Structure 1
Amino acid sequence: MGGDGIPAGVVKVDGQRLVDQVNRASGAGLTFAGSAGNGEVGAAYVRWPDGRAGVLTRGDGSPDDLRRTAEVLDAVRRHGLPVPRYELLAELPDGIGVVQERMTGQPPTRIDRALLESMIAITDRFAGLAAKVPELPVPSMHLLQSGPGFCLHESLRAYDDRTRRVLDRVHEVGRDEPSTMTGDDLVHLDFHTGNVLVDDTGRITGIVDWDGIGRGDRRFGLVTLRFDAHARLPDVRLDWFDELLESVLSPGVLRLYWAHMTLRMVDWSIRHHAPADTTRWLGFAESRII
């Protein structure tokens, strides 16, 4: 917690250090092959001794949680979804090292309506996939108490009067019905354009970063993607996307998901970015929950 009452930010992964930790814990013999992408937390490209390529991340949750994620991804891959295989889980002093297969494709360099529509369409393939995994948790919206490293209420409470008003509204939504998502779909909690891979034609070849996997409503990913589109395409009108959300989600469910993303993005911007970013997220978020 900082002196101003705002919690500290999340430390970005040091790829070489993480590789060294995993090798000490597992004897895997991985070689660091560079930093992976420009994500907020980070990952590392690695190579196995036999030359196979992999991606190393620091996983959240317990070893049992991550083993369950690996098993669920194995199952949904059999349904044809392009998701990675978990190849190693290594228990570390400060978390779990997760080595995933490196899938074909690259993060998209062009963000446009065609990509957004492809991502929207692929969420239909998540429908009902969690029905046979009753132990897969329904993700919390964290509207009444802070989440584990994200969706922190303390940062909004400490920042200024405007964020305190937004936090009050988030709490109101959290006390309303519905207060959680429902359903048996597979849920990707961080479904944004940085978490897909595409080939040279723009076809989606991979969906990555499944740390937040859950059971519930696949359409939650559409709201996550709408927030991402606001950041990636700030000068592009996206009325068609807003109309889509209003057509597929009831007002109460849309308000619930919007409140969660408001909390998530405003908190993250306060702790990791500049005041201008916080102001921008507040303006966008307030368009629906205030």
Structure 2
Amino acid sequence: MSSSPNDPGNAPASDLEIVVAHQARATLRVGDVFLKIDSEQGNIDAEVEAIELAPVPTPTILWQKPNVLALARVPGTALGRLGEPSPAPASAWAAVGAVVRRLHEAPMPARQGASLVDVAARLDGECEALTRTDLLSPEVLARGGEIARGALRSSRPVFMHGDLQLDHVFVDGDQVTGIIDWSAAGRGDALFDLATLTIGHEEHLDDVLAGYGGGVDRDRVRAWWAVRSLLGIRWLAEHGFDPAAPGAEIDVLKSLA
């Protein structure tokens, strides 16, 4: 689910919008209702399980039918968007950190997230493919790949959201009002969530960790920033997005390198 149409200040509640659509999944907004349509019923079932288990604010499940899940709009506004300054205060970022810690300490869902072996294989493939483009300089690509491999160490699995982009987190002042899009939730690395939340917003990492608490390896958070950036650049470029926009994936890699 995209955050933009979830903002109450946007389009009228009576219209319809295609939020995202690709071969396997689509999300539609009809007024205040989001319809998630998936070709694999197992994906819907896993998302429902995650929403019901998560001890944090989530969208209300309105109904579920074969291959379709209906969710209510969550209140509040997005924590921010990649490439733009966050409108939320430091206290809101800290509150999000505390909520994410609560999620990571909760009993885990049944689904296993992507294995480190799979991530490493994808990373190798993307780095190889990027050498055949002019999207990144050889120096930035090489350094980014080196940093990224620092993330690929085993860790104790937690209840991981799996796609904790800052525009999937909604706040009202310094209160977290909802976390959306649980389609990638499963057992996984806590630092992947923290990195996804703060990528492109390094200035708020301290705020998040103030709420999250200790025991966080900041170098591995940065390594996951590199992983996410390298895995996303070609897809973004091929689907009409600009990974070289200010604050976006290429900027992240340049700052790390």
Q: Which residue of 2 aligns with 1:145?
A: 122
Q: Is the 8 A contact 1:44 1:55 kept in 2?
A: yes
SS at match of 1:220: helix
The letter of the residue matching 1:156 is L
Q: How does 1:49-60 map to 2 (within 5 A)?
A: 53-59=32-38
Cα deviation code 1:16-74 (max 9, x no counterpart): xxxxxxxxxxxxxxx9733377x798843226xxxxx4212344x73113202212321
1:64-92 Cα offsets, whole Å, 9 max, x none, are: 1320221232122xx3x11124422544x
Aligned with residue 53 of structure 2, among 61, 75, 79: 75
RMSD: 4.1
Give the aligned partner of residue 62 of structure 1.
40
The one of 143, 153, 159 aligned to 1:186: 159
Structure with higher RCO (Cα < 8 A, 6+ apart)? 2
Which segment drifts farther, 218-227 or 165-174?
165-174
Paired position in structure 1 for 2:29 = 45
Aligned to 2:83: none
Distance, in Å, in 1 between the alignment partners of 2:135 and 2:29 is 42
In structure 1, list runs of 5 or more residues that go unmatched: 1-11, 16-30, 48-52, 92-96, 231-236
Q: TM-score, normalised by structure 2?
A: 0.68
Aligned 8 A contact 1:34 1:46 in 2:
yes
2:84 corresponds to which residue?
Answer: none
Aligned length: 232
SS of the aligned residue for 2:132 comes to helix
- Percent of pairs identical after alignment? 19
SS in 2 for 1:266: helix
**Letter of the 1:227 counterpart:** I
What SS class does the counterpart of residue 190 from structure 2 fall into? coil
Within-5 A mapping of 1:92-171: 97-108=68-79, 110-131=87-108, 133=109, 135-140=110-115, 142-145=119-122, 156-160=130-134, 162=136, 165-169=139-143
Distance in 1 (CA, whole Å) between partners of 2:120 and 2:197 is 19
8 Å CA contact retained: 2:151, 2:221: no
Shift of residue 191 of structure 1?
1.4
CA displacement, residues 124-155 of structure 1 (integer Å, 9 cap, x when unaligned): 11123244x3x3213346332269xxx95576
Q: 1 CA distance for matches of 2:140 and 2:65?
A: 39
| Distance change in 2, residues 1:242/1:196 (3 Å) | closer
Task: Compute the TM-score of the two structures, normalised by the length of structure 1.
Answer: 0.61
2:241 corresponds to: 273
